[in-house]
Amino acid sequence: DVKVTQSSRYLVKRTGEKVFLECVQDMDHENMFWYRQDPGLGLRLIYFSYDVKMKEKGDIPEGYSVSREKKERFSLILESASTNQTSMYLCASSSGLAAFFGQGTRLTVV
């Protein structure tokens, strides 16, 4: 089975902090994604990557950056956390068809 692991289930950070969310997949997938999920808005794509060191902006990249130094790992970075970034963050990977998701990280910025 595909396994996508996010480093934290719950995080609480202060406004202005730099926040790192880590994601690792074990299926040698080329593609990795970061989404955020908010009530009533579904899943919105923040960034994605189709190869090591490659990244592309999704629909809502503002306030975020990403890093993919190794194929199995895709990190989401909040450069200066703000309260409107309080959300559920979901990482996924795929080989080109269905994406498989991690368990999510619920981030609260206070």
What are the residues binding other proteins (CB under 8 A)? 4, 31, 33, 35, 40-43, 45, 48, 50, 58, 90, 92, 94, 96-104
Report in angstroms how near the CB of residue 57 gets to other proteins at its nearest: 11
Of 19, 14, 27, whose CA–CA distance to 76 is shortest?
A: 19
Report in angstroms how near the CB of residue 24 gets to other proteins at its nearest: 14
Report in angstroms how near the CB of residue 55 gets to other proteins at its nearest: 13
- The letter for the amino acid at 88 is M
Which residue's CB is nearer to other proteins, number 12 or number 18?
12
Q: Helix and strand tally (H, E) in the chain?
A: 0, 12
Q: Using an 8 Å Cβ cutoff, are 17 and 90 in contact?
A: no
Which residue's CB is nearer to other proteins, number 69 or number 96?
96
Which residue's CB is nearer to other proteins, number 56 or number 79?
56
Which residue's CB is nearer to other proteins, number 26 or number 79?
26
Q: Using an 8 Å Cβ cutoff, are 24 and 102 in contact?
A: no
Please state, in angstroms and rounded to a whole number, the distance separating the CA atoms of residues 54 and 88. 24
